[in-house]
Amino acid sequence: MNLLITLTLLSTVAMSGFRRLKLMTGTFMIQSLSIAFICFFLGYETNEAHYYALGMLTILIKAIVIPIIMNKSINKLKTAREMNMIINGYWSYIFSSIFVVIALMLLKNFRQDLIKTGLVLILFGTFILITRKKAINQMIGFLTVENGIVLIELSTVQMNLAIEFGIF
């Protein structure tokens, strides 16, 4: 569990400074895969089927279908990397670390790791959304926000499966 959370955070931190589009989709794939495995792990611990369903859907859509579509559209583009970010790579790493500190400070009294990780992912996603100019990178930022919402949803009180699909 610790390892999976670490993998999610590592891929998110790495994402905040990358320029090359293919690397962005690759790290996004790693992030979604680790979130799917978090779902499987929770399902194994609690013996409830809806975690498995959520994990399977995450793998199917976020780790296979969306990266394939993105890679196809990247191959049509002329430039494979983002040259003029609004905030450059160096500063975006430093800002991202400040974001994590803020997120952890806000959620100081919560016990669960997944809520904190989810808020961190939402902040990183909005950061990617704001600072990039290319459409694909903005899409990845939006999907990162969505991954964060999935993580927060995983740790809250159990909802109906239909609502989970809606959030998904």
Partner 1 sequence: MLDYVLIVLQSLFLLIITPLFVGILKRMKAFIRGYQGAKITQPYYDIKRLFNKGMVVSNSSSFVSIFGPSICLAFSIVISLLVPVFYTNNIINFGNVFLVIFMLAVIKIITTLIGLDCASTFGGMGSSRESFISLFAEPVMLLTLSVLYFESNNFNVFKISYAISNTDITVAHILALASFFILVLAENARMPVDNPETHLELTMVHEAMILDISGRNLAFIELASSIKFIVFATLLINLFLPFGIATSISIYSIFISIVIYILKMIVVLFVIAIIRTSIAKFRLFKVPELLASAFSLSIISIAMLYFNL
Among 46, 73, 97, 158, binds partner 1 (CB under 8 A): 97
Among 60, 61, 94, 130, binds partner 1 (CB under 8 A): 94
162 contacts partner 1 (rule: CB under 8 A): no
- Report the DSSP beta bridge partners of residue 20: 81
Burial 87-125, CB ≥16 within 10 A → b, else e: beeeebeeebeebbeebeeeeeeeeeebbbbbbbbbbbb
5 contacts partner 1 (rule: CB under 8 A): yes
17 contacts partner 1 (rule: CB under 8 A): yes
Q: Closest separation between CB of residue 68 and partner 1, Å? A: 22
Residues 53-92 close enough to bind partner 1 by CB under 8 A: 89-91
Residue type, 139: M
CA nearest neighbour of 41 among 26, 55, 24, 62: 55
CA distance 108 to 139: 30
Residues that bind partner 1 (CB under 8 A): 2-3, 5-6, 9-10, 13-14, 16-17, 89-91, 93-94, 96-98, 100-101, 104-105, 107-108, 113, 116-117
